[in-house]
Every structure is written in structure tokens, then in C-alpha cells.
Structure 1
């Protein structure tokens, strides 16, 4: 599998793709996590609890608390886990315009969560 590391190529071919539904971040305990009636888009286990990324509808239907809704933009370019500066360049530009971003990197692609 070829994943891109060259910064200029990553920027030129990132092909952002907006997901149709809003997402939320929730912090729940392990018991609640084990009983979720859906598979979250993303999870991360922290000492304070399990952070999940789920659609707003999934979280609401399950009675989970969340603060705000986020749009998910997937960067369709296959970025290498070893790529340097790709997300830094994007997040810095968003910061300059006052846009908060929560980047999430997966094996194939990067996702940017920005306020809905």
C-alpha cells in the first residue's frame, strides 16, 4: 500500500469530503461503553473514561451528554502515518481564521472535525 508523505502532494490531492450528518464527542464510562447499542465512528480510552465520536442522532437516542455538534471532513488522500506537517499546515490555517478543529488520524485517512 502506498501512502503519501510528500507535503505538497498531500495538500494538492487531499480531496476533502464532508459527511452528511453532525457528530458529537462524548465521555462515558466503560460500563456505558460496553452497552452502547451502536458502533461509534471513533473511540479513545483515557483514564477519565472512554471518549466516543458518534452521530448526534446516535448520542441523543442513547441519552448521552455532549456539548456541541461537529462536521466531519475526511481528507481522502492516503496520508502516511509518517507524513510530517500535513495536519499542522491545515490546522494552523484554520486557527488563523478562528475555526476550532479536532483532527483524528486513522490508518488510511485524516479526519477534521470542525464546528457544525
Structure 2
């Protein structure tokens, strides 16, 4: 399965799912993930390794963090070369005043939005899906 490329089908079928829990962004300058920490996202940068981890793991490991997020998965299987999904989702959330950090996985796109507005973000995305039918 290569994933969907048709923007209308992607938007209509995105089925946003709010994952349980609170996730935080942190960084480890030496690039070593602490014992007991299971990142859901990692990004290697020159300044260090960015981790997105469950908040409880960050607290337990003594990691300082920034940005408490809700994790939304778009359940549609989008092709990695699909055009417009990120832009359309970002625009809808922008219009609602909700920031969003997008991570593309092989099968799905994942959105990290402010934790306090995560439910609202799902509602915005559900409305976008309905409008795209």
C-alpha cells in the first residue's frame, strides 16, 4: 500500500484521533535517550536530539521540557509525496488560532497541538473532513 494522494479523499477520510496523555518536547544535547524514556518522536539536530515523550517520563527522568502537547493522529494512510494535506490541516488550525507541529510517519501524519486545545483541534479537523466530502 503506497498511501492516498488525492487531497479531497485525504481530508474527508482523515479521521483525527486524539491519543491519550500529555506529551512534551525536550532535548538531550549529548544525543542519549535517558533510561526509562521511550520517545514517540525523535529529531536529530546539530544542537542535540529533540524528543517528544510522555510528560510522566520527562518528569521521572528529570528532563526539562517545552510545549505540552496533545497528540492527534490522522488515521488516513497518506502517501509521503501527497500534496496539500499538511497545508490544509495547518490552515484550518491557523484559522482557529491553534498552533500545530506536524510529523509525517510512514503510514500516518501526526499533529502535536497545545494540550489545552487538543479536543478543540480534533473538532476543527472533523469539521474540515465534513466540508471536504
Deviation track 1:18-76 (CA, whole Å, cap 9, x = no partner) reads 01101001011225x24432321110110010000100011111000012310000001
Q: Higher helix fraction: Structure 1 or Structure 2?
A: 2
* Structure 2 unpaired stretches of 5+: 116-133
Q: Match of 1:69, SS?
A: strand
Residue aligning to 2:124:
none
Whole-Å Cα distance in 2 between the matches of residues 26 and 77 of structure 1? Answer: 28
Residue aligning to 1:84:
83
Q: Match of 2:98, SS?
A: coil
* TM-fit CA distance, 1:110: 0.3
Residue aligning to 1:23:
23
Change (3 A) 1:51 1:91: same
TM-score of the superposed pair, with normalisation by structure 1: 0.93
Q: Over aligned residue pairs, what C-alpha RMSD do you find?
A: 1.2
Whole-Å Cα distance in 1 between the matches of residues 110 and 33 of structure 2? Answer: 25
Residue aligning to 2:8:
8
Whole-Å Cα distance in 2 between the matches of residues 108 and 36 of structure 1? Answer: 28
Whole-Å Cα distance in 1 between the matches of residues 8 and 35 of structure 2? Answer: 41
TM-score of the superposed pair, with normalisation by structure 2: 0.82
Residue aligning to 2:44:
45
